Amino acid sequence: MVKVIILRTAGTNCDLETEWACLKAGAKPSRVHISSITSKMVNLLDYDVLIIPGGFSYGDDLGAGKVLANEITLKVWQQIEKFREKGRPIIGICNGFQVLVKGRMLPFWNKQTASLVWNDSGRFEDRWVYLRVENSISPFFKNMPEIIRFPVAHAEGKFILKNKSLLKNLEENRQVILRYVNPSGEIASYPYNPNGSTAAIAGVCDETGLVVGMMPHPERAALGIHHPDWLRTQSKEIYSSGFQFFKNVIEYCS
């Protein structure tokens, strides 16, 4: 059975939903505090998948995800590198995405080339958005509709890059996994793009396609009844695209 480690710390608040989604997808998830890894009570390499879930790690002091990113790079970087070298997925959702970007794990490994900064609206955005699933190198987005809906809940979700050439590299390497769009699947401005991200980017992967980060929450869109319009549409689907994402990750490891 695929073993998933869900990393948590002070301020993490999406670990239970992530654990449930992984369990339903057929994995054996464990919620583990970062201190158990830094103290060597738990070995990261005993697991097949690492997920850093959403929340407000350490109160987002010094910027969203920055403290946890520093803790990982300073204290467990060797384990993280070995984890990636073995081809094991590393997933960051919302605050976890911020951690991966600020911890030099996305979008290019071991380089700080991007950041996630304050939304253009200057406020916390908490609602459902439309996303276009891009033709990326990541294997975790198969069997999904082209347009999906996930909720977002963040204040610092604007994805930016150091320069335009990096965006060109991302797109040529097919490392963009999700973009914010309108219901027709076209890139559009606010409110469809909730934060003003460069090129409407909602998620990216690294050069291998196995390190993945996104601001929207798939664990909050795992069931058909999670969707805000499920009664209006009279949808009969039990599982939704959020569940499909976790299922794809687990099946890849299997």
pLDDT in tens, 172-221: 999 999 999 999 999 999 999 999 999 999 999 999 999 999 999 999 99
Q: What is the mean pLDDT of the chain?
A: 97
Query: What are the backbone angles phi and psi of residue 203, rounded to the nearest 5°?
Result: -170, 150
* Residue pLDDT, tens place only, 11-39: 999 999 999 999 999 999 999 999 999 99
Pairing outcome for strands 147-154 and 158-161: unpaired
Rounded distance between C-alpha atoms, residue 216 and residue 239, angstroms:
17
Range list of β-strands (E), 74-188: 90-93, 114-117, 125-133, 147-154, 158-161, 176-181
Alpha carbons 42 and 135: distance in angstroms, whole number: 36
pTM of the prediction?
0.97
CATH 3.30.450.20 correct for 3-253: no
Q: What are 117-156's pLDDT values in tens digits?
A: 999 999 999 999 999 999 999 999 999 999 999 999 999 9
Per-residue confidence (pLDDT) for residue 86, from 0 to 100:
98
Residue 74: is its pLDDT beyond 90? Answer: yes
The enclosing H or E element of 174 equals: none
Q: Which residues are catalytic?
A: 94, 217, 219
For the chain, the structural domain boundaries read 3-253
